Amino acid sequence: MTKFSPGDAVIVDFQGVECEGIVIRQSSITGFVMARIVVDGEVDFGSITPRMDPQSVVCVPESRVRAA
């Protein structure tokens, strides 16, 4: 298990797309990391709206997060 601290710069694999981000918090119980990511405007995730906000908060398994 990799330990991240709030404010750490990371690369987040969100729905198969690697995005730069900043850690908000990490759960030692669930193994998930909450991070604010910068979304490329050309990527269309198509899940809720045609495009996500340029800076979105996501929660992903820690295995999909690595240090930047």
* Average pLDDT score over residue span 36-59: 73
Handedness of CA 63, 65, 66, 67 (dihedral sign): negative
* Average pLDDT score over residue span 18-36: 94
* Residue 10 C-beta-side C-alpha neighbours within 13 Å: 28
At residue 50, does pLDDT exceed 60? no
At residue 42, does pLDDT exceed 70? no
- The whole-angstrom distance between residue 53's C-alpha and the CA centroid of its chain comes to 13
At residue 60, does pLDDT exceed 80? yes
- Output the CA angle 51-61-3, nearest 5 degrees: 120
Average pLDDT of the chain is 86
- The Cα–Cα gap between 65 and 48 comes to 23
Only one residue has tokens 């694999």, namely: 13
